[in-house]
Amino acid sequence: MAIDNFLSIQGVSKRFGGTLAVNNVSLDIARGEFFSLLGPSGCGKTTLMRMIGGFAMPDSGIVAIDGADVTALPPNARPTNMVFQSYAIFPHLNIADNIGYGLRKLKLSAAEREKRIAASLAMIKLEGFGQRRANELSGGERQRVALARALIMQPKVLLLDEPLGALDKRLREAMQIELRELQRRLGITFVFVTHDQDEALSMSDRVGVMSKGKLLQVDKPKALYERPGSREVASFIGTMNFFEGRVLEAAADSLTIETKEISRVAAKPNGARAFAVGDRVLVAIRPEKLSVSSTPASVNSVQGRLHAVSYLGDHHLLQIIVDGIREPFIVLAPSDGKGLDENAMPDSAVWVSWPADGAIILPAA
């Protein structure tokens, strides 16, 4: 996908006191894209979004929307609108006046204003709620009012600051689907800030992973999961088993890695990254790529001790301790008994194995 730079962030930094909250971030977001900024709290994702909305001024760098430099513009002069984490529904106004708050500037006729508010209420399925107050609404309803109040302004970019964080799990999942569907229908560019990786992966066209003020990786959800570019990204997105090694042989389509604890590991280079003999690398394997059996497999097998088994319905989550490796291997095994001996007891010896293309090879940090 060719990325056009509808929303363009170039070399943006922001310092708060002694800490660099956002460290030289450059990012291009396409028109109509659902883009998520993902990272743990304090990683700078909210600060970056506030700089797009005009609530914070970057110390350096440029923010441009649809070809226009907006870096120095205040929020009320930008073609952006925001859904706040607290929703920020005005408590002294009813729902209709909340939604119509920004329309005053447009100098509409009373009838046109009413029409737009009614259409907006219909969009969020809250017809007839116009005269109510915010405190008469549930969390999910308030969230939709905040969304409608921002969307009625027809922004070029909609900013959403952890908008689903305060909702319970079931409602959150329903709202994820609703939001995604709404975004597709309206075609508005969404910038969605979240610390919830499932949310980011399931909703977004692309995800930017942030940590300590830096934008680590920008990719499609599938690519982010299957080809993380660094240990930080790999461990933040999903569960990952890691061990270190050194490249022993490097060919065009195969790598042999020597590790202290496991003899030789056969792997395939993934992505565009090239490794040379002698490079120190990190082998990363997803739990579902590992299989467990009572006999060694032909390739990439290591013996360990079964430490714990958790039943998860369609899967078993196994913890297997391999001598010399600090963290136990986490294995997700199907519950149909394939691979795992039904009678396997804790502390019994098992073999963990994975195919050559099952591991992700990362440069050791």
Chain contacts with other proteins (rule: CB under 8 A): 41, 53-55, 74-76, 80-82, 84-92, 101-102, 104-105, 133-135, 139, 149-150, 153, 165-166
Rounded to a whole number of angstroms, the minimum distance from the CB of residue 92 to other proteins is 5
**Measured from the CB atom, is 137 or 325 closer to other proteins?**
137
Coil, helix or strand at residue 162: coil
Specify which residues 242 forms β-bridges with.
284
Strands 206-211 and 34-38, bridge-based pairing: parallel
Q: How many angstroms separate the CA atoms of 100 and 283, rounded?
A: 54
Q: How far apart are CA 101 and CA 130, in angstroms?
A: 13
Instruction: For residue 13, give every residue at least 6 positions away whose Cβ sits within 8 Å of its Cβ, in sequence order, or none.
Output: 20, 22, 23, 24, 25, 58, 59, 60, 61
Q: Using the minimum distance from each CB to other proteins, give the nearer residue, 92 or 326.
A: 92
What is the C-alpha to C-alpha distance for residues 356 and 338, in angstroms, rounded to an integer? 20
- CB of residue 88 to other proteins, shortest distance in Å: 4
What is the token pair recorded at 318?
């196994």
Cα-atom radius of gyration of the chain, to the nearest Å? 25
290/301 Cα distance (integer angstroms): 10
Residue 155 CB, shortest distance to other proteins, in Å, is: 9
* Closer residue to other proteins (CB): 56 or 266: 56
Q: Which is nearer to other proteins, 165 or 358 (CB)?
A: 165
Among 175, 176, 213, 167, which Cα is nearest to 198's?
176
- Residue 47 Cβ vs other proteins, minimum distance, rounded to whole Å: 14
- Residue closer to other proteins (CB basis): 99 or 361: 99
CB of 85 to other proteins, least distance (A): 6
Q: How far is the CB of 250 from other proteins (least distance, A)?
A: 47
Name, in order, each residue with C-beta under 8 angstroms of 221's C-beta and a sequence gap of 6 or more: 200, 201, 202, 204, 206, 207
**In terms of CB distance, is 83 or 302 closer to other proteins?**
83
- Shortest separation between residue 100's beta carbon and other proteins, angstroms: 10
Smallest distance from other proteins to CB 166, Å: 5
Please list, in sequence order, all residues whose beta carbon lies within 8 angstroms of the beta carbon of residue 348, skipping any fewer than 6 positions away. 305, 306
Distance CA 243, CA 145 (A): 48
For residue 65, give the nearest of 8, 3, 24, 2 by alpha carbon. Answer: 8
Secondary structure (DSSP) of 49-102: HHHHHTSS--SEEEEEETTEE-TT--GGGSSEEEE-TT----TTSBHHHHHTGG
Q: Which is nearer to other proteins, 193 or 290 (CB)?
A: 193
What is the nearest approach in angstroms of other proteins to the Cβ of residue 125? 20
One-letter amino acid for residue 202 of the chain: S
Of the two residues 87 and 354, which places its CB atom closer to other proteins in the complex?
A: 87
Of the pair 126, 224, the CB lying nearest other proteins is at 126
Residue with Cβ nearer other proteins (102 or 238): 102
CA distance 46 to 49: 5
